[in-house]
Amino acid sequence: MKDVAKQRTIAFISHNGAGKTTLAEALLFHTKVTTRLGSVMEGTSVLDAEPEEIKRKSSINSAFHSLPWKKHQITFIDTPGDENFLNDTQTVLGGVDAAVMLVDAVDGVKVSTEKTWDFAGALNLPLMVVINKMDRERADFYAVLQDLADSLGDPKPIPAFLPIGAENGFKGLVSLLTGRAWFYDESGKAAEGDPPAEMKDMIAQWREKMVEAVAEANDTLLEKFLDGTELTPEEISEAFRSEVLARKIAPVLPAAGLKQIGLAQILDLILTLPSPLDRGPRAGRTPEESRPPDPAAPFSGLVLKTVVDPFAGQLTIFRVVSGSLAPDSGFHNRRAEQKERFGQLLALEGKGQKAIDEAGPGDIVAVSKLKNTLTGDTICDEAAPIAFPVPRAMEPVVGFAVEAKSKGDEEKIFAAINKMLAEDVTLRLTRNDQTREMILSGMGQVHIDTTLEKLKRKYGVEMLLKAPKVAYKETIKGKALKIQGKYKKQTGGKGQYGDAVIDMEPLPRGEGFIFEDRIVGGVIPRQFIPAVEKGIVEAMAGGVISGNPVVDLKVGLVFGSYHDVDSSEMAFKIAGSMAFKKAFQECKPTILEPVMLLTVTVPDEFMGDVMGDISSRRGKLLGTEARGKKQVIKAHVPQVEILGYAPVLTSMTGGRGSFSLEFARYDEAPPQVRDKVVAEYKPREEEA
């Protein structure tokens, strides 16, 4: 069993386009894990291997690999930075001990930078920062450093290295700890030497800031620092790592992944991040539960990702938290309370895997063809059960009505989607019983489009998207008394006769439907009264003025008549329907529209614009709540006004806003909405 103290399990996180995958590919090449430098742009990446990723030249799935460095093993996850796939990033962060944040040296902090930084903070993960793409035009290490300090919370970003040059002149790094410099040639090879003389004052200035930051938490070092005593490199190094592990500081360094500048320094800094032993026991969902990162402890693990392949079956990827695992064994699924068995134990190498003999704390491995295990599940020794907490999945923000492109593919399509639901927990497939539409919901247009591409590639089925219908309802505002519905038909033989008289009145919102039998004296035989109610209920389902279901009213059957020979259940059912439709038209019919609870989270500076936009959508503001540097706005907004809100909010806030929706209630629609819904129904009614 390997030394757990020499294990590092990390994730590369950032906004989209900061160069995570390119840097990870360069690290694999630098450590001779791969024999050539994979390229995202050329489609030769070993990490971004899905056709959809190659097409978009961007990660949409987390990728897993490992590499050796100075007798340590570094297992890493290359995560997506696109807003559409951030839930994948949030989920897999539960399987690492630290995170490496990449920030573009030109663009600085962006929306996904803030979100992924917050993901790491919620899990108490130590961080380091790579200011990448220092070779780009307008790259500015110090401006981005200030942006980090201004935009993000703890830990405090502190440079561990300074850049030598910038843009086309970026050629190396200077260590603030040792004062040594590394100069890189065009091939990415480094030569160690003294830093440029013109950087002497800058190095001294930033070194003093670094030493002050690491000494602040150590009384002995702080006293020596304030007395002007020079701290030894060993003292600084030890205090530096202590502050990193405590999430007080995040070391920062410049790099250019594509030109392979700074790779060795990045790997050295990764070794200052925590091992599983440094992180200590992982807590379970209850206070008395925890597991130490000890190979001799009972086995436990956390499932990070599920990949479904139509040919190879299901691949389950998990982090080993405690204990050890060997091939041809099994474990207990705590959620399903079932035993799972597997054959090979696989180490992940980007798009490939290799069989291994054992896995221990800190390892991220995979097994295939499990029957009951899903993303987020805890797996463990049945004799020592435990359940680990997982972040709540992000809620979908867009939904489309979907249907098969080819008739007859419906069953095949929905079977394929159900397999993808196991792979992607942010996808939702629901049925709107009123509109009879299947609604596919996800994190954005790109997420939905990618899902459709995968369905076609993996399962050979195609789907069409369209805007979902709004599920309106009909109701009444007035009363009607003694409205008759008489059905009489004579065909030469036995005829049909039914006669029902009803009263109708509205009910409070949400009360549904009440039918009252007020017949006295046997004017309608008892066996025909249920038929009258059935006729009314069926008429309500189809609506009267708009084709939408009728709700919230009470009908009383008060009078009627019958024929000894011609009356039947069918005749009274038709009579009940006729009476209902006549009475409904006399009771001031109106349209009810669904109203959603909209919760929007935005930076302070966009609060006014967002609230104004909500008001323009007939929204009723319920209140606001400060949450750090952001505001949470809650409002009730009609569903029809909020369709397509995601791109609007993105445009309004520069992508820094997020929102969630849930059904709140039905309210009466204003006249203009009511008239439009009714007008759209009339042509369909006439055609029918």
Q: What is the pLDDT of residues 582-592, one digit of tens each?
A: 999 999 999 99
Structure-block tokens of residue 354? 């290799």
Q: Where does 152-247 have alpha helices with state H?
A: 200-215, 219-226, 233-245
> What's CA 488's distance to the chain center, in Å?
60
Closest Cα to residue 316, out of 343, 290, 298, 291?
343
Taking the C-alpha atoms of residue 17 and residue 102, their distance in angstroms, rounded to an integer, is: 10
Does residue 618 contact residue 638 with C-beta atoms inside 8 Å?
A: yes
Backbone angles phi, psi at 69, to 5 degrees: -155, 115
Structure-block tokens of residue 508? 């409070």
CATH, domain range 474-587: 3.30.230.10
Pairing verdict, β 428-432 and 156-159: unpaired
pTM, to two decimals? 0.81
C-alpha dihedral, 147 to 148 to 149 to 155, nearest 10°? 180
Taking the C-alpha atoms of residue 307 and residue 487, their distance in angstroms, rounded to an integer, is: 61
pLDDT tens, residue by residue, 22-40: 999 999 999 999 988 888 7
Q: Where does 460-558 have alpha helices with state H?
A: 529-542
Neighbours of 50 (CB within 10 A): 18
Backbone angles phi, psi at 557, to 5 degrees: -85, 110
**What 3-state DSSP class applies to 627?**
strand
Distances (CA, A) of 403 to 236, 412, 437, 457, 459: 63, 12, 8, 17, 15
Above 90 in pLDDT, residue 687?
Answer: no
Partners of residue 430 on adjacent β-strands: 439
Taking the C-alpha atoms of residue 556 and residue 553, their distance in angstroms, rounded to an integer, is: 10
Taking the C-alpha atoms of residue 28 and residue 328, their distance in angstroms, rounded to an integer, is: 30
Backbone angles phi, psi at 364, to 5 degrees: -115, 115
Q: Any idea what DSSP says for residue 104?
A: E
607-635 burial, b at 16+ Cβ within 10 Å, e below that, comes to beebbebbeebbbeeeebeeeeebbebbb
Largest interatomic CA distance in the chain: 118
Above 60 in pLDDT, residue 1?
Answer: no
Taking the C-alpha atoms of residue 173 and residue 185, their distance in angstroms, rounded to an integer, is: 12
* CATH 3.40.50.300 domain residues, the chain: 4-279
Structure-block tokens of residue 260? 């392979």
Give the model's pLDDT for residue 329: 94
* CATH, domain 399-466, list 3.30.70.870, 3.10.180.10, 3.90.220.20, 2.40.110.20: 3.30.70.870
Between 486 and 309, residue with greater pLDDT: 486
Give the model's pLDDT for residue 685: 59
Q: Any idea what DSSP says for residue 177?
A: T
Region 172-196: what's the mean pLDDT?
A: 93
588's enclosing H/E stretch is: none
Between 127 and 60, residue with greater pLDDT: 127
Give the model's pLDDT for residue 102: 97
Does residue 598 contact residue 648 with C-beta atoms inside 8 Å?
A: no
- Sheet hosting strand 338-341, strand order edge to edge: 338-341, 330-333, 378-380, 300-309, 313-322, 364-368, 345-349, 352-356
Q: Among the ranges 118-122, 433-437, 680-684, which has the highest mean pLDDT value? A: 118-122
With DSSP H G I counted as helix, E B as strand and the rest as coil, what are the percentages for the chain, rounded to 5?
30, 30, 35
* CATH 2.40.30.10 domain residues, the chain: 287-380
Give the model's pLDDT for residue 330: 94
* CATH 3.30.70.240 domain residues, the chain: 592-672
Taking the C-alpha atoms of residue 127 and residue 116, their distance in angstroms, rounded to an integer, is: 11
Give the range among 122-131, 169-178, 280-289 with minimum mean pLDDT: 280-289
Give the relative orientation of helices 445-459 and 410-423 as an angle to the nearest 10 degrees.
Answer: 120
Between 646 and 475, residue with greater pLDDT: 475
Give the model's pLDDT for residue 688: 52
Does residue 1 contact residue 68 with C-beta atoms inside 8 Å?
A: no
Give the model's pLDDT for residue 513: 96
118's enclosing H/E stretch is: helix 111-122
Does residue 501 contact residue 560 with C-beta atoms inside 8 Å?
A: yes
Backbone angles phi, psi at 660, to 5 degrees: -140, 155
**What 3-state DSSP class applies to 532?**
helix
Tell me yes or no: is domain 4-279 CATH 3.40.50.300.
yes
Give the model's pLDDT for residue 347: 95
Task: Please provide the distance, in angstroms rounded to a whole number, between the alpha carbons at the two ends of the chain.
Answer: 74
Structure-block tokens of residue 372? 């009951």
Closest Cα to residue 117, out of 144, 86, 140?
86
Fold of domain 592-672: Alpha-Beta Plaits (3.30.70)
Q: Any idea what DSSP says for residue 606?
A: G
pLDDT tens, residue by residue, 38-90: 887 777 889 987 888 888 888 889 999 999 999 999 999 999 998 889 999 99
Give the model's pLDDT for residue 380: 96
**Sign of the dihedral through C-alpha 661, 663, 668, 673:** positive
Give the model's pLDDT for residue 628: 66
Above 80 in pLDDT, residue 627?
Answer: no
Above 60 in pLDDT, residue 114?
Answer: yes
Taking the C-alpha atoms of residue 443 and residue 146, their distance in angstroms, rounded to an integer, is: 31
Taking the C-alpha atoms of residue 329 and residue 382, their distance in angstroms, rounded to an integer, is: 13
Task: Kindly report the average pLDDT of the chain as a whole number.
Answer: 91
Q: Residue for token digits 């009356």?
A: 567
Does residue 109 contact residue 138 with C-beta atoms inside 8 Å?
A: no
Taking the C-alpha atoms of residue 594 and residue 471, their distance in angstroms, rounded to an integer, is: 7
Give the model's pLDDT for residue 151: 85
Give the model's pLDDT for residue 312: 67
Taking the C-alpha atoms of residue 243 and residue 158, their distance in angstroms, rounded to an integer, is: 11
Pairing verdict, β 378-380 and 300-309: antiparallel
* CATH, domain 287-380, list 2.40.30.10, 3.30.465.10, 3.40.50.700, 2.70.70.10: 2.40.30.10
